[in-house]
Amino acid sequence: MTAHTLTTADIYAWLEEVKDPEIPVLSLVDLGVITGVFMEGDHIKVEMTPTFVGCPAMDFMKGEVLDVLKKHGIKDAEVEINFKHAWSSDNISEKGKLALKKYGFAPPPPTSEILTDLSILEHATCPRCTGTNTEMKSPFGPTLCRSLHYCFDCREAFEQFKPV
């Protein structure tokens, strides 16, 4: 057996195991909140940034990241939360957007679209029937990152991951 030299790609692969506590199909990597992995000798540093500054799940996610690193035998690990690379919903990967949709959430449209046309916020695409005959019921939903919508085509309420 040849010794494998640990790379940051390995760490990213491990971090795929850590899911958003509110959306268990979405990994932190796909969510885009892992903003850097740095290795210096045996010391591993993971940088994270919150989706929303007031996200109450941040400490929990930080703990989960440390647990996963520990599980893979890393003894000297550190997680730093900072705003060097501020999170935007554009940072959610394509795989992540697909996972959101499958889970029943409308994925966020590109933020560049809202800057030119606010009505995109008002008429989100329904994740069930893909109709756009919808209305925003409230820009605030069950968590800071989600808004409430209603679809007139399939007559179901749904949530959208907010473009921000």
Out of 86, 104, 130, 157, the residue judged to bind other proteins by CB under 8 A? 86
Cβ(28)–Cβ(97) below 8 Å: no
- Between residue 3 and residue 32, which ones bind other proteins under the rule CB under 8 A? none
Out of 2, 116, 119, 138, the residue judged to bind other proteins by CB under 8 A? 138
- 154 near other proteins (CB under 8 A): no
Q: Which stretch binds other proteins (CB under 8 A): 10-18, 30-38, 71-79, 83-91?
A: 83-91
Query: In whole angstroms, what is the distance from residue 151 CA to residue 127 CA?
Result: 9
Out of 84, 94, 112, 119, the residue judged to bind other proteins by CB under 8 A? 84
Judged by beta carbon, residue 56 or residue 131, the one nearer other proteins is: 56
Judged by beta carbon, residue 38 or residue 83, the one nearer other proteins is: 83
Cβ(26)–Cβ(33) below 8 Å: no
Q: What angle do CA 146, 149, 150 make, to 5 degrees?
A: 155
Rg (alpha carbons) of the chain, rounded to whole number? 18
- Between residue 108 and residue 137, which ones bind other proteins under the rule CB under 8 A? 111, 118, 121, 137
Give the H or E element holding residue 151: strand 146-151
User: For residue 91, how far is the Cα from the chain centroid?
Assistant: 8
The interaxial angle of helices 58-71 and 8-15, nearest 10 deg, is 120
The site for other proteins (CB under 8 A) is made up of 49-50, 52-56, 82-84, 86-88, 111, 118, 121, 137-142, 144, 147-148, 162, 164
